[in-house]
Amino acid sequence: MAPLYTVLLPTHNRADVVGFAIESVLAQTEPDFELLVVGDGCTDHTAAVVSAFGDTRVRWFDLPKAPAFGYANRNVALREATGELVAFMAHDDLMLPDHLEVMAERFKDHAVEWAYSRPLWVSDEGVVVPFAIDLRQPDQLDHFLSQHNSIPASCVVYRRSRHERVGFWPEDVSDAADWQMWRRMIAPSNGSNLAFVRQPTTLHFRADWRTGPTWGPSPLPAWLIASTMAWWPESLRLAVRGRNPQSAFADALREPAFVSGLRAGVDRAIDALAWTQAIEIAWLREDQAADRAWTDELRATQSDLLQVREQVTQSQARSTALSDELSQLRCAVTTIPFQRLIRLQRRLQVRFGANPLRRTDAFSGQAYLAANPDVETSGIDPLDHYYVYGMLEGRSAR
């Protein structure tokens, strides 16, 4: 009789941790499964670790190294799978004892073909960080399908019939093959065939080949900082005391109270993080409102400055006009009397027949110009200048 589950566990030279992963599978409250351990060119003592369990449900595939992460070897084992449901198990992750049982409940709904549980990321220091992602929400589903994967493969269970329809693990990629297969499984139905289990059922640890700080989704560094705060639940911290974290958590999982405390701590942490996020959003809105008020005030000030600039321009124009008018007035002051005097002189010329000064030879134009150089530059006839200005100013006529 075919088992309910096929559990796929690929591994490559992690004999130091793969035993803890296998132990967590064999300790499941749902015992109806086959465990396919796929050795991808293992050169360490992984085979000895696997055979030491002596459980008939465990099958060991000792295969030559395949390209990249050995996706082709996973397909070799999957083609021999007989379970109705397929669960994935990373060689450095752990299942909580009821993972298979809890996930199977979702598949009682025949519309469900792919399901995942809440991810828990575990740091090397033993800090457990929950991650919130609900693919039933359109924006989160779109981000998952189009941007990147933030769900560890160990959280996922799917119907074997699904991958037989859409294809097995892609063998022509260097990484993220799980994400590509997940997308093929849920994108055609736009996520209507998926289910989300809010409670965590697995523990995901940092892979040994990830050496930088960005070994998880983008919010993880901020959440690790949050885990140092006083409100962070103590049940989400485990003292590893120099051991690898898988060993420390494998021991803790043997205590039923640890799992219940872990899940309660996850709920408290999620609530606290949501509250913190809400406060940050409120502060952000206050900052945005203050920015808008400041922007409005800046625009009003700029408008006032433009008005002042316009007034200054108008004043400068008026000043220029006044200056022109003043120049015209000055010209009028010097020319209008002169023109009148010229007319008077002409009347005298008409009356007496000639200029009295010229007639008596009492005026020498040449001598007047020599004594008064400014007269020549004025362009006024010397005699006219003397008659209009020179006599008033006491200038000599000769």
Residues 145-172: tens digit of each pLDDT: 999 899 999 999 999 999 889 999 999 9
Residue 360 within a domain: yes
Mark whether 336 and 319 lie in a shared domain: no
**Residue 179 within any structural domain of the chain:** yes
- Whether 335 shows a pLDDT value over 60: the answer reads no
Q: Which of 53-67, 114-128, 214-228 has the lowest mean pLDDT?
A: 214-228
Among 63-72, 172-181, 362-371, which is the least confidently predicted range?
362-371
Instruction: Decide if pLDDT at 347 tops 60.
Output: no
Are residues 76 and 170 both part of a single domain? yes
Q: Are residues 313 and 233 in the same domain?
A: no
Q: With pLDDT > 90 as the criterion, what percentage of the chain qualifies?
A: 59
Amino acid present at 45: H
Residue 213 has pLDDT above 90, yes or no: no
Q: Are residues 338 and 317 in the same domain?
A: no
Its domain, for residue 286, covers 255-331
Distance CA 264, CA 135 (A): 23
Tell which of 228, 250, 272 closes a domain. 250
Provide mean pLDDT across the span 304-311. Answer: 80
Residue 398 within any structural domain of the chain: no
Reported pTM: 0.71
Going through 113-257 in order, the beta strands assigned E by DSSP cover 114-117, 120-122, 128-130, 156-159, 194-197, 202-205
Domain boundary among 215, 250, 285: 250
Lowest pLDDT segment from 124-138, 218-232, 315-329: 315-329
Q: What is the mean pLDDT of residues 83-96?
A: 98
Count of the separate structural domains present in the chain = 3
Q: Are residues 198 and 105 in the same domain?
A: yes
Q: Which residue has the higher pLDDT, 292 or 55?
A: 55
Q: Are 352 and 260 found together in one domain?
A: no
Region class of 197: left (phi > 0), else alpha (psi between -120 and 50), else beta: beta
Rounded-to-integer distance, Cα 305 and Cα 328, Å: 34
- In a shared domain, residues 265 and 217: no
**Please, what is the end-to-end C-alpha distance for the chain in angstroms?**
146
Instruction: Indicate if 304 and 212 belong to the same structural domain.
Output: no
pLDDT of residue 183: 96
- Over 70: is that where the pLDDT of 333 sits? no
Give the residue-averaged pLDDT of 305-320.
80
Question: Residue 247 above 70 pLDDT?
Answer: yes
Tell me, yes or no, whether 211 and 134 share the same domain. yes
Identify the pLDDT of residue 267: 94
**Residues 199, 85: one domain?**
yes
